[in-house]
Amino acid sequence: MTQINKFIREKLDAKSLRLLEAVNNPSLHAFIEDAVRLTEPDTIRVFSDSAEDIALIRQMALNGGGEHPLKTPGHTYHFDGPNDQGRDTFSTRYLLPKDMELGASLNSIDRTEGLEEVRGFLKGSMKGKTMLICFWCLCPTNSDFSISCVQITDSPYVAHSESILYRPGYEQFKKLPPDGEFFRFLHSEGETDENGCSIHWQKRRVYIDLIADTVYSVNTQYAGNTVGLKKLALRLAIQKASKEGWLAEHMFIMGVRGPRNRTTYFVGAFPSACGKTSTAMLPGQTIIGDDIAYFRKRNGRMYCANVEQGIFGIICDVNPDDDPVIYKALVTPGEVIFGNVLIADGKPYWEGMGCEIPERGINFQGEWYKGKKDAEGKEIPPSHKNARYTIRLSALDNLDPQADNPEGVPIGAVIYGGRDSDTLVPIEQAFNWTEGIITKGASIESETTAATLGQAGVRKFNIMANQDFVSIPLGRYIQNNLDFADGVSNPPPIFSVNYFLRDEKNEFLTGKLDKMVWLLWAERRAHNELDAIKTPTGWIPRYEDLVPLFREKLGKTYTKEAYQKQFTIRVDKLIEKFDRVEKIYRDKVPDTPQIVYDTFENVRQRLRAARRQYGPFISPFDLTA
């Protein structure tokens, strides 16, 4: 039994003391002692995996810890302050020693300087408060995917959110050897106002110490900055995976239903607002995870597991027509946290929910009424555009039965998506793993919308839809993905999808549910059950294979005219795309592997040859003639 420092022992109740003493890991106890001396809490509470302890976390959140009950049993709401409504990309930085370089595209600060700054903000931040020490696990427990984590926070709301999003990890932590590695997170909301929101948001800092596998977060409550096991842990995991030969990706995992009750597991990466959630939640399919996946190799096959057991999702436009499964979970009694929505008469409301929104209530900025304006004269919406919900995946009717399998699930196909109005066809299969990683994943571009930057159609490069979270040089990240196929007897096929192709009238060429057909076609291709048409950049569907899928799955008549418009090869636009992406690599990624440039050139040569034969627009029917 570990001997606990007297300084800490005096702040623990008997149960918490027993729990800490049962963990034989000197690094953990050193981390806790340092955190206690730094933040100076009045008391310390340690939590185990028991249902009793998980329930206590929720009760603390409701008892002045950042949450309030709603009329529906189990539902609560939380408000972040008006200036704490999203991930703070400016203040989220890597702490790097002077001899460590990640590349100019990654936000960093000198480690010594950054530690001094963030620890200065954390100093005494928990005076008068209770420090909560929670143990969670990334991925299923007792698995080669598992990563043990400890979260120290003074926010019951943060702890409650993590109890929904992550698997309990105390018992697994106890099994770690004395020198066992783990991720550590220290958070303080800092001083709060009468609404329980962080006051000193200008001193908000989210610093990631890659040397010590530690994340520091202070003067913030928004979950993307404070629930450290989410995107902050992804940054730690990418670094760890790079050293150990596996992958940590910003991807969903879903089960696509094929013929004869077959389930093929797809992983998919999409930038924001490109259809990631709507793909993962397609009717009739199953979901394992919606956000982050770890990849491992076993016996010549690739496997993946969902890092989380819950969803921290954007609630705007979730309604019974477009998102029936999620909507049902959000209106059914059970554990749900609503964040930054409108509250009226004990009920949550958000924009796009499919019903009339009350004209008065309270939201993230206080009392609200229709037409209310902020200090700059802009009308305040009833709910924030980044308003969120937090639920367990087990609340969803379409949860896959293998979601918690410690072995993970075999990867049957990989898809990469983006928002593109004039270049890529709705779905295309890469010729092989290498071309898939380079021309589909490492070449993702996404057009902005007017709502995001005020100017529509600006293409933003986003490598593997993981640009914001990569914690290693981008060239190495690409090489790691390429090398992951080594030793795999039959690497899964890689597809690109694009749901946003438009015609000359600027109208979408595909319907909202057409993506169902694209994925069902890809599922059959993954099992070599359908032929395909060879283009300069990959394989596309044959018209005769899509017609029955549209008829049987969507009840639609699929015309040759629609097919031709969707799957015409736009040669000049494709050449422009690869020129554009290559320039980014040459200008900003000095360690780009040569095979990336060679692949781009091979693709361009194929496109030029096709243009000489067919012209700048190639009908898919010409390629089958």
Is residue 350 within 8 Å of 364, Cβ to Cβ?
A: no
Give the whole-angstrom CA distance, residue 533 versus residue 538: 8
Residue 467 belongs to what H/E stretch?
none
Residue 296's SS3 state is strand
In sequence order, the 6+-apart residues with CB closer than 8 A to the CB of 425 are 498, 501, 540, 566, 567, 568, 569
Residue 587's SS3 state is helix
Tokens of 491: 């690497």
Give me the residue label for tokens 């001997």.
3
**Environment class of 351 (CB within 10 Å of its CB; exposed 0-12, middle 13-18, buried 19+):** middle
Catalytic center residues: 274
Give the whole-angstrom CA distance, residue 165 versus residue 415: 24
Q: Give exposure, 557-576, as e/b (b: 16+ Cβ within 10 Å).
A: ebeeebbeebbbbbbebbbe
Tokens of 99: 């001899």
Helix axes 156-165, 51-62, angle to 10 degrees: 140
Q: Which of 562, 567, 565, 520 is nearest to 542 (CA)?
A: 567
Residue 535 belongs to what H/E stretch?
strand 533-535
Is residue 522 within 8 Å of 541, Cβ to Cβ?
A: no
